[in-house]
Chains A and B, each alone.
Chain A
Amino acid sequence: MYAANAAQPDARRFAALVRRRWTVSLALTVAMLAIYYGFIVMLAFRADWLALRLGERLTLGLPVGLGVIFASWLLTGIYVRWANGSHDAAVLHLKNAMQEGGE
């Protein structure tokens, strides 16, 4: 369908697309690393915080652990929402422009 070196995307807009993609990806990666390692470091150095009582017996540790699971759902959800929306639209736009032989 596409010849190897025939069509090229608009260089400036393509570079912006790639930059935006990695800005979003790396920001979310850093957030995931911070949340997970924050949890590990807390376990290693301030485990007493996780033993704080919330109710009669329940401690802070269980909701914090669950929170890490929810955070990984939330972050993947944010990425999919962004990528399926504005990112895919930008990709489609660049591809269409390429097929028409550039702008």
Chain B
Amino acid sequence: MNTALTTTIGQPSVTSIAFFFLFIAVTLAITWLAARKNRSTSQFYAAGRAVTAWQNGLALAGDYMSAASFLGIAGLVALSGYDGLIYSIGFLVGWPIIMFLIAEPLRNLGKYTFADVVAYRLSQKPVRIAASIGSLLTVCFYLIAQMVGSGVLIKMLFGLPYETAILLVGVVMIGYVLFGGMLATTWVQIIKAGLLLTGATVMTFMALSRFGFDVTALFTAAATRYGDKVLNPGGLVSNPLDAVSLGLALMFGTAGLPHILMRFYTVPDARTARKSVFYATGLIGYFYILTCVIGFSAMVLVGREVVAGMDKGGNMAALLLAEATGGTVFLGFIAAVAFATILAVVAGLTLAGATTLSHDLYANVFRSGRSTEAEEMRVAKRATVGLGLVAILLGLAFKGQNVAFMVGLAFAIAASANFPALLLSILWPGTSTVGAVASIATGTLTAVVLIVLSPTVWVSVFGFATPIFPWKNPALISMPAAFFAGWLGSVLVPDARARSHFAAQQIRNYLGVGAE
């Protein structure tokens, strides 16, 4: 078909700028409305716990569907076919796990952060310090990956210089969180999720219209042009243990991401939390199916050579397809949606990081829970600005670096440092303070050290010939190590007081009695 496609990607178009400013105007108006309510910590951290199941489902999906997963997975499918689908499935299967194991206990036992749950019947200070480190590391690595990705992407989309793009994202994101808190951040996620799902649905519809709405015809065309191998698994799962390790990190890491876990405090009760995960799972699964069709359509309608020629990672596949099916107006819309996606995800991460700093570290550790609400709010706002500036600086510092491993690292730490301690404190009466701290410390250290020694950093970043640790993802080692350390610490230094409080924790956990 049209392999000699000329593209306007990279030149700022009137439509993309118009859609982008419309998005900014609407979201800032919402922020302004939200700011009038934004006086209490319960408003700032949890949107007054008044978010409905559908709204939270969309916001969870919004937090999870990053520009990297939209553009990256569509590109992976366009360039390698079936392997892209395998990759996206890994990102979905963590959601049922969140639902079955932690959504309801998290909602009933905590107030604003998952550290509330881990520290519920343990010594507050050591557990909160350890949980904050796990939480902040996850947020920071995720944030670096998103910021660097956004700079590169905006440069490619609009022709803006990298530094200007980073500053723009940082300043707008600080504005949302600082003035609008969780309520504005939630609405930004809802609008962005709606736009992204609508855009992807329209693009899929237009692409499939070229094949008479016959998906089989699309796959047949792809296989005819590029060979049967695009419909079959390729090199992604070459080492079974590595694949299982990556699968563990994705599955249980999702259940340990602070910005996702925090959303469960925005709904009124456990029943709403559970329904919202059901909606989120449906929306995210639907989104990955669309992304897969978009990738195959880009392969056929745009051509692999063109996709790889624009960007060797394939990140421009969805945008090239938007232009091929809907012209420059549709391209402008999808480019603006991609930009909105970046803004929304970094806002969610920054809010989660700021909450850890102000609620866990300042209010509960530094002031031993004796600070006033006004003092905590002041610190939360300063933390937002501080973290926003850190995000901008990290984005500038990592310019041109290979940061692809950082999302994997964030998931590995979330699965190893955050999830085991959370599950142990919910389920096992014997969990002691020393056990929880040992679990978080072991999970964090093992994950970080093994990633540094793995092919993704030791070979791809440092340039050594052979990795010391053979797998790309450490979760298969670091997650069991964290559970073992949690058990060992609890057995060696038991905590009679924590054990005696387990019965009361269970009543609150399963009946919601006393839940905030």
Chain A contacts for B21, CB-based, 8 A: none
Q: Given known contacts A2-B513, A32-B97, A95-B511, is B92 in contact with A61 (CB within 8 Å)?
A: no
* Contact indicator per residue, chain A 71-103, by CB within 8 Å of chain B (1) or not (0): 011011101100110001001001100100000
A40 CB, nearest partner CB in chain B, Å: 5
Chain A contacts for B85, CB-based, 8 A: 62, 65
| Contact in complex: B232, A47 (CB < 8 Å) | yes
Quick one: which of A40-87 are within 8 Å of B by CB?
40-41, 43-45, 47, 50-51, 55-59, 61-62, 65-66, 68-70, 72-73, 75-77, 79-80, 83-84
Kindly identify which residue among B223, B289, B513 contacts A95, using a CB–CB cutoff of 8 Å. B513
A75 to B90 Cα, complex, angstroms: 16
Chain A contacts for B277, CB-based, 8 A: 76
A33 to B507 Cα, complex, angstroms: 29
A91 to B61 Cα, complex, angstroms: 29
| Contact in complex: A58, B237 (CB < 8 Å) | no
Q: Given known contacts A9-B507, A32-B96, is B89 in contact with A62 (CB within 8 Å)?
A: no
Quick one: which of B66-111 are within 8 Å of A by CB?
82, 85-86, 89-90, 92-93, 95-97, 99-101, 104
Quick one: which of B485-516 are within 8 Å of A by CB?
504, 506-507, 510-514
A25 to B239 Cα, complex, angstroms: 31
| Contact in complex: A29, B97 (CB < 8 Å) | yes
Q: How large is the interface on B (under 10, 10 to 19, 20 to 34, 35 or more residues)?
A: 35 or more
Closest A residue to B512 by beta carbon equals: A91
| Contact in complex: A43, B232 (CB < 8 Å) | no
Chain A contacts for B506, CB-based, 8 A: 14, 18
A48 CB, nearest partner CB in chain B, Å: 9
A61 to B236 Cα, complex, angstroms: 14
| Contact in complex: B82, A62 (CB < 8 Å) | yes
Main secondary structure on B side of the interface with A: helix
Main secondary structure on A side of the interface with B: helix
Kindly identify which residue among B232, B244, B289 contacts A40, using a CB–CB cutoff of 8 Å. B244
Kindly identify which residue among B100, B244, B251 contacts A79, using a CB–CB cutoff of 8 Å. B100
| Contact in complex: B281, A73 (CB < 8 Å) | yes
| Contact in complex: A8, B507 (CB < 8 Å) | yes
| Contact in complex: A28, B86 (CB < 8 Å) | no
B513 CB, nearest partner CB in chain A, Å: 5
| Contact in complex: A57, B232 (CB < 8 Å) | no
| Contact in complex: B89, A39 (CB < 8 Å) | yes
| Contact in complex: A72, B232 (CB < 8 Å) | no
Chain B contacts for A32, CB-based, 8 A: 93, 96-97, 100
Kindly identify which residue among A4, A44, A47, A62 contacts B514, using a CB–CB cutoff of 8 Å. A4
| Contact in complex: A65, B86 (CB < 8 Å) | yes
The yes or no answer to B233 lying at the interface (CB within 8 A) is yes
B449 CB, nearest partner CB in chain A, Å: 25
A44 to B480 Cα, complex, angstroms: 22
Chain B contacts for A50, CB-based, 8 A: 232-233
A18 to B506 Cα, complex, angstroms: 9
Q: Given known contacts A14-B510, A57-B224, is B82 in contact with A76 (CB within 8 Å)?
A: no
| Contact in complex: B96, A69 (CB < 8 Å) | no
Chain B contacts for A28, CB-based, 8 A: 96, 100
Chain B contacts for A21, CB-based, 8 A: 510
Closest B residue to A68 by beta carbon equals: B89
The yes or no answer to B231 lying at the interface (CB within 8 A) is yes
A26 to B294 Cα, complex, angstroms: 35
| Contact in complex: B232, A51 (CB < 8 Å) | yes
Which residues of A are at the interface with B, using a C-beta cutoff of 8 A? Answer: 1-2, 4-5, 8-9, 14, 17-18, 21, 25-26, 28-29, 32-33, 36-37, 39-41, 43-45, 47, 50-51, 55-59, 61-62, 65-66, 68-70, 72-73, 75-77, 79-80, 83-84, 88, 91, 94-95, 98
10 more A-B residue pairs beyond the given contacts A28-B100, A51-B231, with a C-beta to C-beta distance below 8 A: A29-B100, A36-B89, A36-B251, A43-B237, A51-B232, A62-B82, A76-B95, A76-B99, A84-B274, A84-B275
Minimum-distance CB pairs A-B, first 6: A44-B240, A43-B237, A57-B223, A25-B100, A57-B220, A51-B232
